[in-house]
Amino acid sequence: MADQRDTGLTLDPKFDDQGLLTAIVTDRTTREILMVAHMNAEALTATRSTGQAHFWSRSRQRLWKKGESSNNVLNVAEIRIDCDQDAVWLICDPAGPACHTGARTCFFRRIEGDGLVPVA
């Protein structure tokens, strides 16, 4: 039986035991997956209030605004949440590459056999 979180219309994010949600980011125009990151409650609030993607950096242990040093911000057009509210989908207009390597997307390689091949 689905609970109210699964079927209702009340925002009630289900953060994991580290206080995080998975965030999937896609390009609004192309629908290409740009990146996957994590958000805590503060990052979700900042994203909703500013219209620019904020995340929780697990490596830095701090809130960060995507593009804070590169200016490659992600302007959020829409936020969707999955059925059990433990993951969000940010539909964005990117202001540059999404990947820290300079690639448009973090998913610029595919697995072939035991190796990786660049995606054109």
- Binding residues for Mg(2+) are 82, 84, 86
* Bind-site residues: 82-84, 86, 99, 106
Contact 65, 53 (CB under 8 A): yes
Contact 75, 55 (CB under 8 A): no
Contact 66, 53 (CB under 8 A): yes
DSSP state of 11: -
* Bind-site residues for Zn(2+): 83, 99, 106
- Non-local CB neighbours of 96 within 8 Å, separated by 6+ positions: 67, 70, 71, 72, 73
